[in-house]
Structure 1
Amino acid sequence: MLKPTLLAAGLVALLTLPVAAQSTNSGTDKFAQLETLLPTPNSYRTASGAPGTDYWQQRADYNIRVRLDDEKQAISGDEDITYTNLSPDVLTYLWVQLDQNILDKTSIAAATQVGEIQPRMPFQAMDYLQRGGFDGGFVISEVKLKGGRGLPYVINNTMMRVDLPTPLKPKQSVTFSIGWRYNINDQTKINQRSGYEYFPEDKNYLYEIAQFYPRMAVYSDNQGWQHKQFLGNGEFALPFGDYRVSITAPADHVVGATGVLQNPNDVLSSSQRQRLSQAVGASSPVLIVSPQEAEKAEQSRAKGTKTWTYAAKNVRDFAWASSRKFIWDAMGVKQDGVPVLCMSYYPKEGNPLWGKYSTEVIAHTIKTYSKYTIPYAYPVAISVHGPVGGMEYPMLSFNGGRPEKDGTYSAERKYGMISVIIHEVGHNFFPMIINSDERQWSWMDEGLNSFVQYLTEQEWERDYPSRRGDPAQIVAYMRTDKSLQTPIMTNSESVLQFGNNAYAKPAIGLNMLRETIMGRELFDYAFKEYARRWAYKHPTPADFFRTMEDASGVDLDWFWRGWFYSVEYTDLAIAGVKQYRVDSKNPDIENARQRELTSKTPKTISQQRNVAAIPQPLVDQKPQLKDFYNQYDPLATTPADQQRYQQLVKGLSAEQQQRLNGGLNFYEVSLKNLGGLTMPVIVQMTYADGQQEIMNIPAEIWRKNNAEVTKVFITEKPVVSFVLDPYQQTADTDLSNNAWPQQAAPSRFELYEYQQRQQPNPMQQQSALQQKEQKPLTTPTSTGGTK
C-alpha cells in the first residue's frame, strides 16, 4: 500500500495540537482525587498518611492460666485482663471477643452457612453440613472485678459486653477476670483456625490452640469499638499488650507458644536446655527434641502434668501448640543485632520435609521481610506442623505440608509447604506488627503479606514457582463476570472469590506498582516508610494509600480508584497504525523513493495473467504507434525540478532544512482502553533490522480521554511491528488486540485420558525404578542434629 506523505509544516502543526482537542472524556474521571472517598485528616491521622500528634491506641495486658484436658480434648482457663484507656473518651463498658463461639450450635455462622446436596458427597462435605452437631463455643463461668466483685455482662454471639461499675476515664485502667471452658474441635472434620489432630497409629493427639481465651476488642479513633461479629472470613482486630500465660498439659507433652519460655528448668531436661542454648548461635537447625526422643514420648503415658509459662511483650495475641509427638529444632539469626530464635515443632509424619526446610524457611523469611519492611524485633519465630493448613499469630504460626507416608513428596507439596511457612511467618509483620483491622479489611494483611511473600520466594530460589506475584496470574480472575467479583475495598465477610480478591489481586497490584508504575526505588522506600510509621499501631487503608504517595511523590489516586475500588479490568488495544514520512521536496530523494514503492507494488491478477495471454501487445507489434510517452520516465529528475527545489530550500533555516532531509519515520498509533481500567501504556517497537525498543508511557496518557488516545512515535529506523505490554506487566486480559500487525495470541489445549487412580509423585516413580534396578533411593533427610 502506498504510504501517505505530508509537508513538514503540516506535520509540525499536527504534532503540536493541544491534547484537549482529542478529548471526548465520558463517565467517571479516572484521575479524580480520592479526597471524597477517604476520611478527613485530623490530629490523629494526618493527610500525609502518618500518625498525628494526638494519635492514641488502647492497651490490654493479660495474665492467663489455661489447662489442656488430653482425655476429653477440652480447654479450661481463667485470665486477668488489665485494660488501659488511652483514648480521650470516657468508657462505660468494654467489648470482649468470644471467637470460639463461631462453633456454638446457635452461632450466626452456623445459621447462615450455605450448601448443596450433591448426588455423591465426600464425608468431609457432610461433616461441614453437620458442624452444628459439635458442642463448641465458650462456656463463661464468671466475670468479676479485681477483688472479687461480679460484673454484669451480655453475650451477643461472638461478642461480650462487660458493663463497668464506674466509668473508665482517660488514662485510667481497670483489671477484671474471666473464667471459661470449651471443647476443642477435630480439625479434620471441622476446619477452623485451631483444633486437634488424632493419630490412630500411636493413639496421640496434636493440638494447635488459638482464640482460646476471651480477647479485648479494639477501640479506635476512626471507628470506636470494632465489634463486628466473627463469621469466618474476617479475622481479628486486637490491641497490643504484655502477656504471661501458664499452660498446664500432660507431663510428657512438649508445648510451644508465643513468647519466651520462663521456666525451662521445670519442663526441659538438662540436655534439652543445653541444645536450646547452642541453637541461639547455630547457622543450621539444632534438634532440641530429637526424632528418637519424640517417638519414645509417643509410646509413653506419663502421669501428672507440667506447667509451661511463656511471656511476651507488646503483642496483640497469643497462641500455642502441644503434643507428645513433637520434634523440636531451632537456629538463630540476627536483625539489627537483635538475636531471633527460629524454631519448628513437628511430628515425625512431617519428615523429611519439615526437618530439612521449616526452620531454614523461617530464618529466610525473617531476614527478607525485615529488609523490605522493618527489622523483626520479637525474640522468637515459630512454625508448627499440624492439622491447620495455615494460620498466624505473634511469633508463632500453624502450617501444613505433609509428605506421603513413604517419605516421598511432589514438587507441588514441597513448594506449597515452603510457601505457606513464608506466608504465615510473614504475617508477623502484617498484621501482627503493622496491625491493620482484619475484621474489616482482609486485604491489608493478606494482600500486603502475599506481596512480600512473593519477594521472599524469589529470593529463596531462582524462578521459584510463586502463585501470586506476576500480573499474568490474575488475568483469569479479571476475566470473570463482574457479578462474580467485588472491589478489593469490600468488607471481609462480603468478599467474593476470597483468595483472588483478598490475597492475589492486592499482592499483584503492589508488584505492578513496584515494577511498572513507580519503579523499585520509589516503591521500596515508600513501602518501608509505611511499615516504619505504623509498626505496633493500627493503620487504615487511607493511611496506606496516603503514605505510599507522600513518601514517593507519585500521584496514585487513579490506581487506588481503579484497582482497589472497582472491578474494571485491563484491556488495552492497538486500534490502528498510520505511517508517515516527511516530504523532503528533493526530487532525487522523492523520485527514488517513489520508484522503489512502485517496483514493490504487486501487479494485479489481470496483469499477471495477461503476460501469458497476450504475448505481444499491439504497440510492440507496430512500433510506429509509440510516441514520446512510451519512452517518458515521470520519475526522472530534470534540471527544472532541481531548480524549483533549490528555490524552496533557499528560504529555510538550517534546522528546517535538516527536518526536511532527516528521513525520520512518523507512526500515529491509535490506542483504545476497552476494559475501562487505567494503566500505563508499554509499547515494544521492532525495527526493520530486528532490534527492539520499549517505551513506557505513564497512565496519565489517559487523563483527558479514558477511552481512546492517539500517540505519535518518531523513529530513525522503520518499525515493522508494535506490541503492547510484551512482558504482561499490566494484567491485560486480551492479548489478541495488543499487536500491529495483528498476531495470533499463543495458547494450547491438552488431550488426556481420565484417570481415577492418583498417579505416584516423581519421587515414588524414581523409587520404584531404582528398586527394580536394586538401587537405593536417595531421599532428603533432616539437616538438624543434636549437638
Structure 2
Amino acid sequence: MRRFLLAGLVLALAGQLPATAQTTNSGTDKFAQLETLLPGPNSYRTASGAPGKDYWQQRADYDIQVTLDDAKQAISGRETITYTNLSPDVLPYLWLQLDQNILDKNSITTATQVSQLQEKMTFQALEGMLSDFDGGFKIESVTGKDGKTLKTVINHTMMRVDLPTPLRPGQSFAFNVKWRYNINDQLKISERSGYEYFPEDKNYLYEIAQFYPRMAVYSDNQGWQHKQFLGNGEFTLPFGDYKVSITAPADHVVGATGTLQNAAQVLTSAQQKRLEQAKTAKKPVLIVSQAEAVQAEGKRATGTKTWTYAAKNVRDFAWASSRKFIWDAMQIKQNGKPVLCMSYYPKEGNPLWGQYSTEVVAHTIKTYSKYTIPYEYPVAISVHGPVGGMEYPMICFNGGRPEKDGTYSAQRKYGMISVIIHEVGHNFFPMIINSDERQWSWMDEGLNTFVQYLTEQEWERNYPSVRGEPANIVSYMRTDKSLQTPIMTNSESVLQFGPNAYAKPATALNILRETVMGRELFDHAFKTYAQRWAYKHPTPADFFRTMEDASAVDLDWFWRGWFYTTDRSDLALESVKYYTPSTGDPAVEKARQQQLQAAAAPSISAQRNATALTSTLVDEKPELKDFYNQYNPLAVTPADQQRYTAYLGGLSPEQRQRLGQQQHFYELSLRNVGGLVMPVIVQLTYADKSTEIQTIPAEIWRKNNAQVSKIIVTKQPVVSFVLDPFQQTADTDLSNNAFPRQAAASRFELFQQQQPAPQNPMQQAQSASPAPKQEQKPVGGGGQ
C-alpha cells in the first residue's frame, strides 16, 4: 500500500494522457473514422444510412409453368419475365442467373474446387468425385413476346439477353424462356435443393429451388450484380410478383411460396375443411395426417395435378412436393394481419416435427417481427428434408430427424428447433431486408443469426444457443490469423465460413446490444435499419451508418475492429498499485509506518544473523555509538506537530473534511494484447466479499490503443479485480484478467479408444424401463 499527498493526485491523473495517440500492432489508429473506407453518400443513399430521395430499384415479374417428372427426377418449365427498368440508365441487355449450372460437369466450381486424397474416404466422398451427374440448365429457347429468338450469351452461371432495342428508363420488356434440368440426389450431391429417395417405400421427396432462370440485380451502387455463383455467395434478386403453376403427380402434396390459388381443384373437401379450421386453431391442425400420408406412400395414383400459387412483392420462389408429406397448419395474427404457419414433413420426421415445427415457425415470426418489422407475407412454411437448412420467401427447407425408433438426443431436438428458427428468420434477412448475399454473406447470415439467438432465448429459458454468446466465439478468435479473414470479405473468399459469416457478426451485434450501446439504444437503431431497408437493397455502409444515426453512438472503432480486421479481444490487467491519501498527521502516519515495519518479515540474512552473530563491533565497543544510535525517526516530535498545524491552517474546510474521509485509490495498468479495442469491464471484490461492476467505455483507448492506466477510488479496500467477469467481450485469454492472478480450474478426461456409439438419453431410459410399444400418433387435430 502506498500513500500520497492529495496535491499529487492531479499530476497522476494528468500524466496518463499522452500528447499524441499511440497505436497497436498494424500502426492504424483504432479510432480512425470510416469515411475513407465507406462509399460517399449521394442522392440514392444518404450519409445517415437511409435511402435517398432518388433511390430506385428494378422490378421483375414472373409467370411460370413447371412440371415435375417423378419417374426421371427432372424439371421442365417455361416462364414469361416482365422486367421493368426503374433506373435512370438505358440498358442494352439484361443478365439472368443460371444457378443450376453450378452442377454442370464443366462448372467453375468443379474446376476450382480444392481437395485432397485421404487414406480413408467414405463412399459418398468417392461418388462425389466420380459423379457423372448430368446437371445444369438446358436452355431450349429465349424469345420475345413476338416469338422471335433473342440473342443470348451464357457465361457459366450467368446468361446475357441482348435486347432488340435498348430499354429506357420507365420502360418494361417481356420475354420467354423455356428450359429443363435433372434434379440432383441430395444425399450424393449436397446442394441447396434436390430430392431424397426413401428405399423402404420407394418414394421421393423433392425440395425445389433455383429451378428457373432468374433476373440478376441492377443497382445504383454497382450496376449489374453478375458475380459467378461458386457456392458460398448466395443469391441477389429483385422484387416482383409471381404466378407459378406446378404440375406434379396427382397423389403429391405441393407446398410453395405464396398462397394456393386453386385449393378446390387440388385438395379434397376434408383437407379444405381442415385448412379452414387451422385459421382459428390455437395449436397446429393436421391437413394431411400421418395415416393418410402412409396410405399415399403405398399407392401410385395415375395422372397429374397442377397446383397454382401466387406471391406478391417477393424476391424468389421455391416449392416442395411429395406423396410422403404430412401437412399441418396454424394461423397467427401479426400486426393485425393473418399469417398461416405450416409444416410439411414425412413420417420419418415424427415425433419431433409434429410436436415442434409449426410452433417454432409461429414463434419465429412473432419474435423477429418484434425486433425488426411486422411480417407482412400471408404464409410461413417449414419443410423437412435432407438439407441442413435453406431459405426462400415464405418457405424453407430444414433438417433434423429423430432415430428410426422415434427417440432423439437433446442436441438433435435443439438443433432442429434452431435450424427452423434460422431459416424462417431468413424471411426477414435477406428476403425482405434484401441485402447482397453474393457479395456479403454476413449481412444476411450474421444479422439473421443474431436475431435467431434472441428468438432461441425467448423460446426456452437458458436455451443452449450455439452462436451469439461471446464465450462461444472465443475458440475461433484464438485461431491463427492466417486461418481467418475479416468479416468484410467477399463471400467466396471467406475462410471458416460458419464462424466468419454467421457466428462472429452475430456475436458482435450481441456485444453491441449488451455491452457497448445498451438494449434500448441498440434495439431502436436495429429496428430503424429494418424499417428503412425493408423491400430494398441495403449495403454494409447503410447498416453501419443507420446504427450510428439512430443511436448517437460513434461505432466506427467497433466496425473497424470487428468487421475490417482479424484482431481479437484480449485485454490484460497487468498490475494494480494501491494508494491511500496521507492525512498529514505525524501521529497517524508515523504510527502506521511503525505497524508496517513490525509486520514486515526480516530478510533471510537478518534471520540467520540473529543466531549466527553473537555480537557486533558496536556491541563490543559502546564508545562507537552516537546520536543516531538512539534516534527514532518514527517518534513524533514537536517540530512534526508544528508542521502539521501549519499544513492544516493552509487548507480550506472542504479540504480538511477530505482528509478525514477513508478512501482507497487503485491504479490499474491495462494492456490491449489482442489488438481489438473493447470496453473495460471490471469486477471489484471488497474485503467484506461484496462485489461491484464498473464498465469503462472503449474510448478509454482512444489516446493510446495499446496501454492505459485507470484510477479507481473506493470507500473500502478491494481484495481482487477481474476483467470481463461475465465474458461479455469474447476475451480470448482469461488468465491475464485477474489481479491478483487466479488459477483457472480445469479437468482432463480418461477415455478408452473404440468405444461403441452411446445411446441417446431417451434410448437409455427406455432400456432401463421397457414400456409396451405403442403406435406413434401425430400431434394435432385433423378429424374429418
- TM exceeds 0.5? yes
| 1:14 paired residue number | 12
**Given residue 657 of structure 1, which amino acid in structure 2 is its aligned partner?**
R
Matches of 1:117 and 1:472, distance apart in 2: 35
| 2:781 paired residue number | 785
| 1:293 paired residue number | 292
User: Does the aligned pair in 2 maintain the 1:285–1:784 contact within 8 Å?
Assistant: yes
Gaps of 5+ in 1: none
CA shift for structure 1 position 247: 0.3
Note if 1:592 corresponds to 2:591. yes
CA distances 1:434-473 after superposition (whole Å, capped 9, x unpaired): 0000000000000000000000001111111111111111
| 1:52 paired residue number | 52
SS at match of 2:440: coil
Which aligned pairs between 1:375-774 and structure 2 lie closer than 5 A? 375-608=374-607, 635-771=634-770
CA distances 1:669-727 after superposition (whole Å, capped 9, x unpaired): 11111111111111111122212111111111111111111111112211221111111
| 1:179 paired residue number | 178
CA shift for structure 1 position 615: 10
Matches of 2:666 and 2:359, distance apart in 1: 54
User: Does the aligned pair in 2 maintain the 1:49–1:546 contact within 8 Å?
Assistant: yes
CA shift for structure 1 position 534: 0.2
Relative to structure 1, the CA distance from residue 660 to residue 416 in structure 2 (aligned partners, 3 Å threshold; closer, same or farther) is same
CA shift for structure 1 position 588: 2.9
Matches of 2:31 and 2:619, distance apart in 1: 70
Matches of 2:393 and 2:243, distance apart in 1: 14
User: Does the aligned pair in 1 maintain the 2:329–2:341 contact within 8 Å?
Assistant: yes
Relative to structure 1, the CA distance from residue 142 to residue 723 in structure 2 (aligned partners, 3 Å threshold; closer, same or farther) is same
CA distances 1:485-530 after superposition (whole Å, capped 9, x unpaired): 1110010000000001000000000001001111111000000000
Q: CA RMSD in A?
A: 2.2
Which aligned pairs between 1:348-387 and structure 2 lie closer than 5 A? 348-387=347-386
How many pairs are equivalent?
Answer: 781
| 1:337 paired residue number | 336
Which aligned pairs between 1:218-237 and structure 2 lie closer than 5 A? 218-237=217-236
Matches of 2:565 and 2:699, distance apart in 1: 18
CA shift for structure 1 position 122: 0.5
CA shift for structure 1 position 571: 1.3
User: Does the aligned pair in 2 maintain the 1:256–1:321 contact within 8 Å?
Assistant: yes
**Given residue 294 of structure 2, which amino acid in structure 1 is its aligned partner?**
E
User: Does the aligned pair in 1 maintain the 2:681–2:693 contact within 8 Å?
Assistant: yes
SS at match of 1:20: coil
SS at match of 2:708: strand
**Given residue 20 of structure 1, which amino acid in structure 2 is its aligned partner?**
P
CA distances 1:12-67 after superposition (whole Å, capped 9, x unpaired): 22223472348544611111111111111000000000000000000000000000
**Given residue 77 of structure 1, which amino acid in structure 2 is its aligned partner?**
G
SS at match of 1:303: coil
| 1:90 paired residue number | 90
Matches of 1:22 and 1:46, distance apart in 2: 33
User: Does the aligned pair in 2 maintain the 1:447–1:505 contact within 8 Å?
Assistant: yes
**Given residue 19 of structure 1, which amino acid in structure 2 is its aligned partner?**
L
SS at match of 2:18: helix
Matches of 1:622 and 1:343, distance apart in 2: 105
**Given residue 501 of structure 2, which amino acid in structure 1 is its aligned partner?**
A
Relative to structure 1, the CA distance from residue 106 to residue 665 in structure 2 (aligned partners, 3 Å threshold; closer, same or farther) is same
User: Does the aligned pair in 2 maintain the 1:390–1:398 contact within 8 Å?
Assistant: yes
| 1:167 paired residue number | 166
Matches of 2:126 and 2:620, distance apart in 1: 96
Relative to structure 1, the CA distance from residue 574 to residue 271 in structure 2 (aligned partners, 3 Å threshold; closer, same or farther) is same
| 1:323 paired residue number | 322
SS at match of 2:382: strand
User: Does the aligned pair in 2 maintain the 1:766–1:777 contact within 8 Å?
Assistant: no
Matches of 1:212 and 1:139, distance apart in 2: 11
User: Does the aligned pair in 1 maintain the 2:21–2:702 contact within 8 Å?
Assistant: no
CA shift for structure 1 position 747: 3.3
Matches of 2:6 and 2:760, distance apart in 1: 68
User: Does the aligned pair in 2 maintain the 1:48–1:546 contact within 8 Å?
Assistant: yes
SS at match of 1:594: helix
Relative to structure 1, the CA distance from residue 733 to residue 778 in structure 2 (aligned partners, 3 Å threshold; closer, same or farther) is farther
CA distances 1:99-151 after superposition (whole Å, capped 9, x unpaired): 001001111111111211111100121122224x1101000111011131211
Matches of 1:610 and 1:359, distance apart in 2: 84
CA shift for structure 1 position 643: 3.4
Matches of 2:331 and 2:215, distance apart in 1: 33
Gaps of 5+ in 2: none
CA distances 1:155-193 after superposition (whole Å, capped 9, x unpaired): 110100001101111111011010000000000000000
**Given residue 119 of structure 2, which amino acid in structure 1 is its aligned partner?**
P
**Given residue 123 of structure 2, which amino acid in structure 1 is its aligned partner?**
F
**Given residue 751 of structure 2, which amino acid in structure 1 is its aligned partner?**
Y
Matches of 2:674 and 2:321, distance apart in 1: 52
Percent identity, please: 74
Matches of 1:621 and 1:378, distance apart in 2: 104
**Given residue 692 of structure 1, which amino acid in structure 2 is its aligned partner?**
T
CA shift for structure 1 position 647: 2.1
| 1:72 paired residue number | 72
SS at match of 2:376: coil
**Given residue 183 of structure 1, which amino acid in structure 2 is its aligned partner?**
N
User: Does the aligned pair in 1 maintain the 2:682–2:694 contact within 8 Å?
Assistant: yes
Matches of 2:586 and 2:778, distance apart in 1: 81
| 1:128 paired residue number | 128
**Given residue 259 of structure 2, which amino acid in structure 1 is its aligned partner?**
V
CA shift for structure 1 position 779: 11
Matches of 1:669 and 1:130, distance apart in 2: 62
Matches of 2:355 and 2:615, distance apart in 1: 87
Matches of 1:137 and 1:22, distance apart in 2: 60
Matches of 2:118 and 2:66, distance apart in 1: 42
CA shift for structure 1 position 606: 4.8
| 2:188 paired residue number | 189
Relative to structure 1, the CA distance from residue 480 to residue 124 in structure 2 (aligned partners, 3 Å threshold; closer, same or farther) is same
Matches of 2:781 and 2:671, distance apart in 1: 62
User: Does the aligned pair in 2 maintain the 1:736–1:742 contact within 8 Å?
Assistant: yes
Matches of 2:21 and 2:32, distance apart in 1: 16
Matches of 1:711 and 1:12, distance apart in 2: 13
User: Does the aligned pair in 1 maintain the 2:21–2:29 contact within 8 Å?
Assistant: no
| 1:117 paired residue number | 117
**Given residue 140 of structure 2, which amino acid in structure 1 is its aligned partner?**
S
CA distances 1:343-402 after superposition (whole Å, capped 9, x unpaired): 000000000000000000001100100000000000000000012110000000000000
SS at match of 1:283: coil
**Given residue 779 of structure 2, which amino acid in structure 1 is its aligned partner?**
T
User: Does the aligned pair in 2 maintain the 1:356–1:781 contact within 8 Å?
Assistant: no
- Of 512-521 and 110-119, the range deviating more from structure 2: 110-119
User: Does the aligned pair in 2 maintain the 1:649–1:657 contact within 8 Å?
Assistant: yes
CA distances 1:536-588 after superposition (whole Å, capped 9, x unpaired): 00000000000000000000011111110111111111122211221211123
- Of 594-603 and 26-35, the range deviating more from structure 2: 594-603
Matches of 1:482 and 1:525, distance apart in 2: 34
Relative to structure 1, the CA distance from residue 402 to residue 758 in structure 2 (aligned partners, 3 Å threshold; closer, same or farther) is same
User: Does the aligned pair in 1 maintain the 2:16–2:708 contact within 8 Å?
Assistant: no
CA shift for structure 1 position 781: 6.0
| 1:302 paired residue number | 301
CA shift for structure 1 position 632: 7.5
Which aligned pairs between 1:217-256 and structure 2 lie closer than 5 A? 217-256=216-255
User: Does the aligned pair in 2 maintain the 1:255–1:322 contact within 8 Å?
Assistant: yes
